[in-house]
A and B are shown apart, each in its own frame.
Chain A
Amino acid sequence: RKEVEQDPGPFNVPEGATVAFNCTYSNSASQSFFWYRQDCRKEPKLLMSVYSSGNEDGRFTAQLNRASQYISLLIRDSKLSDSATYLCVVNAWMDSSYKLIFGSGTRLLVRP
């Protein structure tokens, strides 16, 4: 079983749509959680951290359910520029060090 699992997509949505991505993680010792964004042929960049109480940054809302080991990202009013791969990431204490564990990403295509 992968440590961080995501639906690879692609999610193909029209501009203005609301889209949600989900992610599950297997390591119950995971300490912190993130969504990173990766554009085609570019490096990953932090989109937002994910807190237990849920948090929002503009059109983006992230939720964490520690009991179910489940993380979500909601994007409202999708823009063409949102097209990218969204990586679910957990920071866990493993083998005597903290490590970021990346999911393989969910691809989003926003069409005009």
Chain B
Amino acid sequence: DTAVSQTPKYLVTQMGNDKSIKCEQNLGHDTMYWYKQDSKKFLKIMFSYNNKELIINETVPNRFSPKSPDKAHLNLHINSLELGDSAVYFCASSPGERTDTQYFGPGTRLTVL
């Protein structure tokens, strides 16, 4: 019973391609997040949705577009992939936007060639 799941786990693609990463949580949480962890292991928030509404939108290239079809799902679409997009992308969820504890998915390791 995976609480927060992501697909795919690994993604290798060429520069310029468009790709999507999917995230689902079965915890009944209202808030979901996307984080990026770069090669220096620095974990940084990208987006957050609360009940399908965007509440955090950090300064990321507009090639990155999140979509939340319902509160259990938060997908991330990336257009025109660049070498610098190579990183591990983690999805997370929490009961509410003010809730401290976040539960992370296993991560998607994206490699752009």
| Interface residues of A, Cβ cutoff 8 Å to B | 32, 34, 38, 41-46, 49, 85, 87, 91, 95, 97-100, 102, 104-105
Q: Per-residue 0/1 for B83-113: is the Cβ within 8 Å of any A Cβ (1 yes, 0 no)?
A: 0000000100000011011101111000000
Secondary structure type dominating chain A contacts: strand
| Interface residues of B, Cβ cutoff 8 Å to A | 40-45, 48, 55-56, 90, 97-98, 100-102, 104-107
Secondary structure type dominating chain B contacts: loop
Is the beta-carbon distance between B100 and A49 smaller than 8 angstroms?
A: yes
Separation in Å of the B50 CB from the closest CB of chain A? 9
Please report the number of residue pairs spanning A and B whose Cβ atoms sit closer than 8 angstroms. 41
Bound Cα distance A43, B90 (Å): 7
Is the beta-carbon distance between B107 and A99 smaller than 8 angstroms?
A: no
Given A97-B55, A97-B56, A99-B56, decide whether A43 and B104 contact each other with a Cβ distance below 8 A. Answer: yes
Bound Cα distance A97, B48 (Å): 10
